[in-house]
Amino acid sequence: MSQNDAQDTTKNTINSNDSTDASVEITPEMQSFYQRADAIIGVANSQLGEQAHSGQVGASLLYAAARYSASVASIGFIKGDDFAKEKDDIVEFYVKQYRQMLSDNLTDYAQNFDKYITIEKQT
């Protein structure tokens, strides 16, 4: 998905590259990261409609992220007891990551609010 495609097809997101510092080179790995995120957001946006509003879809997306993260975090453990012992550290790791990503995206959205609202209204 190109930058223009992301802007044209994504309702409730921004072009992922807009939040990065212009002096930061976007590596192929970073571009793949943003493309995966945009694809997931596209799926979430496809769920919007008469049966579900953005708050409901957002709640489902958060649940899916938590469920997937629990699965990812379990990789490498042999026993459930060992996994359970690491629960607090795992939660702390994911909460810290989410807090930073949310903060960065809220800052970006506020700084580009008029632009993003225009994109949303066009779709």
| pLDDT, tens digit (0-9, with 9 covering 90-100), for 77-86 | 999 999 999 9
Q: What is the pTM of this model?
A: 0.73
HEC states along the chain?
A: CCHHHHHHHCCCCCCHHHHCCCCCCCCHHHHHHHHHHHHHHHHHHHCCECCECHHHHHHHHHHHHHHHHHHHHHCCCCCHHHHHHCHHHHHHHHHHHHHHHHHHHHHHHHHCHHHHHHHHHHC
Residue-wise pLDDT tens digits, 57-67: 999 999 999 99
